[in-house]
């Protein structure tokens, strides 16, 4: 095992990795920009080096300086965390070229999964089901028309270099195609400096299900079940859980095996995630592969008992997986809420300031992966996610009950957070009964009403408690009811029972 590793990240994930390393008697080196000097991730590490940089964000992207510090500090390996340089194939290559170990996959695996059309091609060849559509960038509008006709409307135009939903355009009939094609191209060029686009069949009201895999350098692979990440707001995940309410053992095994095929197809080593869309008929389609440890990895850890960060270190050090596929058993249920420093009563505007008081919840089945503490300064330079609250229960209701309680115990003063909104989500009857898809937040909450609510502290909690139940009953366009008439009736019955 390594004696010392460098963590090329900040915030809660740097703390998470430092904890795993400490438990394995591996020393850790933190790197930090001056604005982060007093953050917990710095004091959690055994050594800390200051990054010399003009802007805070570019500090954590400075490949040359980070590798210099790694060498100077005597670190043998670098863990990139998520975001920043974690899926930068050039960084992974530069780490190897410096004679260090990259705690992650091979540069080539990262590169091949970076292109959406390239990834689709590789997966189709490996027998992984992909969304119907084409696998090469589309050159002309005539070509687009042909493919759309073949696939059948509705379709979705996506950016080849894209991800995160940017530049996506849904097209419901041929007369909308010209405008959508050109505007998708414009948006792709603006966002990714690359105007290549391709076409997929639009999967309506899908679930976002991802499979965690791990692979060692000896050719051993395992899947660790799924995470349901359907609760998103504007392509930002808010609540994740494992297992998903829509998978049974048979579908879990089929998707797990396909995920391992996908990992094999790109010669994958270390921890990775295969994202799928699952439609109403439980068909699943490959969406993309994330070649890093993900934000929501703790829910998988809680239901499998496998420490993914430790497993990453073992794999990178050349050891075999510490378990086999047969050892993987899903036990109980885990939910994660992301604590963002955003004001849910003002359109989720990011908030900044000094956290003058912070009390994090605890107790049986409650886990807090946090990057902040009392006294921490929240700046505008980085992603506004401060912490993750994860609960584990014997079943889904138990986990939700613990989450409600833990959210109410969580006190953060000085910056606004989305905790009241998270309470509304976990108390919502549609969420409680597992009745949601990727459209949930948009359909279940009326943000005009939310923005008018001006209440304080405990009152917020009371108001939100009512809000969570009431919105789907009173909101003007809660469920696009012509699409889901039965669901709407069922909701009202559930709501009456709950109140």
Q: Which residues contribute to the site for ligand MV4 (CB under 6 A)?
A: 131, 156, 163-165, 200-203, 206, 208, 232, 235, 277, 287, 438
- In the 3-class helix/strand/coil scheme, how is 310-365 assigned residue by residue? HHHHHHHCCCCCCCCHHHCCCCCEEEEEEEECEEHHHCCEECCEECCEEECCCCCC
Is 417 within 8 Å of 44 (Cβ atoms)?
Answer: no
Q: Which is nearer to ligand MV4, 150 or 394 (CB)?
A: 150
Q: Closest approach of Cβ 209 to ligand MV4, in Å?
A: 9
Q: Which is nearer to ligand MV4, 158 or 416 (CB)?
A: 158
The DSSP bridge partners found for residue 49 are: 31
Q: Of these residues, 233, 292, 338, 367, which one is catalytic?
A: 292
Q: Which is nearer to ligand MV4, 12 or 200 (CB)?
A: 200
- The per-residue b/e assignment along 358-393, b for 16 or more CB within 10 angstroms, e otherwise, is bebbeeebbbbbbbbeeebbbeebbbbbbbbbbbbb
Q: How far apart are CA 347 and CA 179, in angstroms?
A: 29
What phi and psi, each to the nearest 5 degrees, are found at residue 476?
-70, -40
Residue in the structure block whose two tokens are 């899903």: 330
Q: Closest approach of Cβ 233 to ligand MV4, in Å?
A: 9
Is 267 within 8 Å of 106 (Cβ atoms)?
Answer: yes
- The per-residue b/e assignment along 237-256, b for 16 or more CB within 10 angstroms, e otherwise, is bbbbbbbbebbeeebbeebb
Q: Which is nearer to ligand MV4, 127 or 165 (CB)?
A: 165
Q: How far apart are CA 308 and CA 318, in angstroms?
A: 15
Q: Which is nearer to ligand MV4, 170 or 499 (CB)?
A: 170
**338 tagged catalytic:** no
Is 91 within 8 Å of 63 (Cβ atoms)?
Answer: yes
Q: Closest approach of Cβ 208 to ligand MV4, in Å?
A: 4
Peptide bond into 243 cis (omega under 30): yes
Q: Closest approach of Cβ 239 to ligand MV4, in Å?
A: 12
Token pair belonging to 165: 């939903």
Is 414 within 8 Å of 355 (Cβ atoms)?
Answer: yes
Q: Which is nearer to ligand MV4, 30 or 262 (CB)?
A: 262
Q: Closest approach of Cβ 451 to ligand MV4, in Å?
A: 22
Q: Closest approach of Cβ 423 to ligand MV4, in Å?
A: 22
Tell me the catalytic residues: 292
């Amino acid at each position: 095992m390594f004696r010392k590793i460098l963590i090329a990240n900040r915030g809660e994930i740097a703390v998470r990795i430092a904890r795993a390393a400490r438990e394995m008697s591996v020393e850790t080196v933190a790197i930090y920009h001056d604005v982060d000097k007093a953050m917990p991730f710095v004091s959690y590490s055994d050594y800390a080096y200051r990054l010399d940089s003009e802007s805070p964000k570019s500090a954590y992207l400075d490949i040359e300086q980070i590798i210099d510090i790694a060498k100077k500090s005597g670190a043998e390996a670098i863990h990139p965390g998520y975001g920043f340089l974690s899926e930068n194939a050039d960084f992974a290559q530069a780490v190897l070229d410096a004679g260090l170990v990259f705690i992650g996959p091979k540069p080539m695996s990262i590169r091949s999964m970076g292109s959406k059309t390239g990834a689709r091609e590789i997966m189709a060849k490996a027998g992984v089901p992909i969304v119907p559509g084409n696998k090469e960038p589309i050159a002309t509008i005539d070509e687009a028309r042909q493919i759309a006709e073949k696939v059948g409307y509705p379709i979705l135009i996506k950016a080849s270099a894209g991800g995160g939903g940017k530049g996506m355009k849904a097209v419901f009939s041929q007369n909308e195609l010209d405008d959508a094609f050109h505007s998708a191209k414009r948006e792709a060029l603006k966002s990714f400096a690359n105007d290549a686009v391709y076409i997929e069949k639009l999967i309506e009201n899908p679930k976002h299900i991802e499979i965690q895999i791990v692979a060692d350098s000896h050719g051993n692979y395992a899947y660790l079940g799924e995470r349901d990440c359907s609760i998103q707001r504007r392509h930002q995940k808010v609540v994740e859980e494992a297992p998903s309410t829509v998978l049974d053992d048979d579908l879990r095994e089929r998707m797990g095996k396909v995920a391992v095929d996908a990992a094999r197809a790109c010669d994958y080593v270390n921890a990775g995630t295969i994202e799928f869309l699952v439609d109403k008929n439980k068909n699943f389609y490959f969406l993309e592969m994330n070649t890093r440890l993900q934000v929501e990895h703790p829910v998988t850890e809680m239901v499998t008992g496998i420490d993914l960060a430790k497993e990453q270190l073992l794999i990178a050090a050349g050891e075999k997986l510490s378990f086999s596929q047969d050892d993987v058993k899903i036990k109980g249920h885990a939910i994660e809420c992301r604590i963002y420093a955003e004001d849910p009563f003002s359109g989720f505007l990011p908030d900044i300031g000094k956290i003058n008081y912070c009390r994090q919840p605890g107790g049986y089945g409650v886990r807090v992966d946090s990057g902040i503490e009392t006294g921490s300064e929240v700046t505008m330079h980085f992603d506004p996610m401060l912490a993750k609250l994860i609960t584990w229960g014997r079943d889904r209701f138990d986990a939700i009950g613990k989450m409600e309680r833990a959210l109410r115990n969580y006190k953060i003063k000085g910056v606004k957070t989305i905790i009241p909104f998270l309470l509304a989500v976990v108390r919502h009857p549609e969420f409680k009964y597992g009745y949601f898809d990727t459209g949930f937040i948009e359909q279940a909450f009326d943000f005009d009403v939310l923005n008018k609510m001006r209440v304080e502290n405990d009152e917020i909690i009371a108001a939100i408690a009512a809000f969570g139940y009431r919105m789907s009953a009173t909101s003007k366009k809660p469920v696009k009811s012509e699409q889901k008439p039965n669901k709407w009736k069922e909701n009202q019955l559930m709501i009456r029972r709950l109140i």
